[in-house]
Amino acid sequence: MEEEYDVICLGTGLKECILSGLMSVNQKKVLHMDRNSYYGGESASLNLEQLYNKFRDGQEPPAKLGKARQYCIDLCPKFLMACGDLVKILLHTKVTRYLEFKSVEGSFVFKKGGKIHKVPATAGEALSSGLMGFLQKRFFKGFLTFVHDFDENDAKTHRGFDLNVKPMKEVYSYFYLDANTVDFVGHALALYRNDAYLDKPAKECIEKCKLYAYSVSRYGKSPYIYPLWGLGGLPEGFSRLCAVHGGVYMLNKPVDEIVYHEDGKVKGVNSEGAFAGCKQMIADPSYFMGSDKIKKVGQVARCIVILNGPLPQTKDVDSCQIILPANQCGRKTDIYISMVSHHHQVAAKGKYVAVVSADVEGPELPEGVSDFKTARQHLGVALALLGKPEEAFFWVSDRYVACNDWKSDQCFITSSYDATTHFETATKEVMNLYENIMGVPIDLTVSAEPEDLQDPY
């Protein structure tokens, strides 16, 4: 360990592992450390015994749930946009050789009244959707046709708009989309977390909707894919990539101190009496607790639910995402549900695993609170969609973001995982951090077709 490295990476969460893998591919000398004895950090996948040890210490999993080793339950489950940037990163780095994927069967959105609907992504789906009335279906079909035909390099497809200037709310108004339609387009199709995008140039939103529709057209029932045996395989895959290119990995390795030069730039780490130096550092926020380099920005409430069957309103799909837009469930922020099953090798035969996640609104909760009564208070609208659970595990975690000057200290700190059940926000963060570290954007000029991923099942 007592060497000089280009980059020291602390924590083996997915973001940190992607970045350390990319650094090694770029011929950086990398040391990757984690205080834990397992990969994944906040985004780890646990078997049933590990899950019970974490949330119900001393209690054995009931036999009715099956064998513990049949489970790989994600603490922060997220799906991959099938033709999105994270898949391109996987292909660019060839990490796909270590993984197998299965397409996610459903993508749904919640509407006031307690019902969920398939997110319509084509003109045909728009006309048959129960989300809208007759006239609104026609208007939405026109909007989707515009999205489908839009080509940045062909002015004829722009309808006279300068989408680099015109705000998205004016585009919606042009197509006569009402508030409910705007709600599911922005939150379930474009995957925005709030409505601030309405006042911003429309180009980004149009491209997000186009990516969603294109991914659906390539993979069928939804735009998402998910790795067999859970998300834990992703950080492990990037760890292998880093090791293949000469990176050094140390699990179960505590960090006693992060050391800085007199000018404030990171110098390295002290661990168990040894020192390792570096020019740059990548780390999750847990390694900077108590410092002025991170700040708390809120909390996320999550509930893992083990079920005997698929969700009641999903027509027996084996996996899905459900987004509950804030305006549809009486909140300021969205609620998210992800569901996977034994079809993905993450649960015993016949078992399904759903995870509900949302920002905590109102008074702050004690970190680690685990009673189901509190879960109902914060996630009740979503929990009502799940049916009767076999088991449920609820917890709250604090969210941190970096507030340091990375140009001065060369510390590149990732943020805590948000409540979303897709990787779009995490991927954007990784790409921004990569550009800050390397000085150039990551090369994503690769295809992301089904055959490139060896055809998801």
Tens of pLDDT along the chain (457 residues) come to: 668 999 999 998 889 988 998 999 889 999 999 998 777 777 788 999 999 998 888 889 999 999 999 999 998 889 999 888 888 888 888 888 888 899 999 999 999 888 999 998 887 888 888 899 999 999 999 999 999 999 988 989 998 999 999 999 999 999 999 999 999 999 999 999 999 999 999 999 999 999 999 999 887 789 999 999 888 888 888 888 888 888 888 889 999 999 999 999 999 999 999 999 999 999 999 999 999 999 999 999 999 999 999 999 988 899 999 999 999 998 999 999 999 999 999 999 999 999 999 999 988 887 667 666 777 778 888 999 998 889 999 988 899 999 999 999 999 999 999 999 998 888 999 999 999 999 999 887 755 555 555 544 3
Would you say 395 and 378 are in contact if contact means Cβ atoms under 8 Å apart? Answer: no
Would you state the pLDDT for residue 39?
A: 77
- Most distant pair of Cα atoms in the chain: their distance: 71
Would you state the pLDDT for residue 298?
A: 92
Same domain (yes/no): 253, 321: no
The β-bridge partners of 324 are 335
Say if residue 124 is exposed, middle or buried (CB neighbours under 10 Å; 0-12, 13-18, 19+). Answer: exposed
Would you state the pLDDT for residue 305?
A: 94
Q: For residue 409, tell me if it sits in a domain.
A: yes
Q: For residue 359, tell me if it sits in a domain.
A: yes
Would you say 222 and 84 are in contact if contact means Cβ atoms under 8 Å apart? Answer: no
Same domain (yes/no): 288, 344: no
Same domain (yes/no): 278, 214: no
The β-bridge partners of 336 are 323, 357
Say if residue 252 is exposed, middle or buried (CB neighbours under 10 Å; 0-12, 13-18, 19+). Answer: exposed
Would you say 281 and 267 are in contact if contact means Cβ atoms under 8 Å apart? Answer: no
Q: For residue 51, tell me if it sits in a domain.
A: no
Pairing label, strands 106-111, 320-324: parallel
Same domain (yes/no): 343, 267: no
372: tokens are: 């189901």
Element (H, E) at 243: helix 233-244
Q: For residue 33, tell me if it sits in a domain.
A: yes
Q: What CATH number corresponds to the domain at position 29?
A: 3.50.50.60
Sign of the alpha-carbon torsion through 220, 218, 334, 130: negative
Q: For residue 105, tell me if it sits in a domain.
A: no
pTM: 0.91
Same domain (yes/no): 369, 317: yes
Q: DSSP class of residue 153?
A: T
Q: For residue 224, tell me if it sits in a domain.
A: no
Terminal CA-CA length for the chain: 42
Q: What CATH number corresponds to the domain at position 128?
A: 1.10.405.10
Q: For residue 269, tell me if it sits in a domain.
A: yes
Would you state the pLDDT for residue 234?
A: 85
Same domain (yes/no): 344, 388: yes
Would you state the pLDDT for residue 455?
A: 44
State phi, psi for 387 to the nearest 5 degrees. Answer: 80, -160
Would you state the pLDDT for residue 260?
A: 97
Same domain (yes/no): 214, 203: yes
Burial letters for 67-89: b for 16+ Cβ neighbours within 10 Å, e otherwise? ebebbbbbbbbbbbbbbbbbbbb
Would you say 190 and 56 are in contact if contact means Cβ atoms under 8 Å apart? Answer: no
Same domain (yes/no): 415, 391: no
Would you state the pLDDT for residue 140?
A: 94
- Which domain-ending residue is among 219, 246, 277? 219
Q: For residue 333, tell me if it sits in a domain.
A: yes
Same domain (yes/no): 278, 420: yes
Would you state the pLDDT for residue 139?
A: 95
Would you state the pLDDT for residue 137?
A: 93
Same domain (yes/no): 189, 152: yes
Would you state the pLDDT for residue 454?
A: 55
Would you state the pLDDT for residue 456?
A: 42
**What residue has token string 């009715």?**
64
Domain that residue 9 falls in:
4-44+232-293+403-442
User: Total domain count for the chain?
Assistant: 3
Same domain (yes/no): 281, 309: no
Q: What CATH number corresponds to the domain at position 68?
A: 3.30.519.10
Same domain (yes/no): 191, 254: no
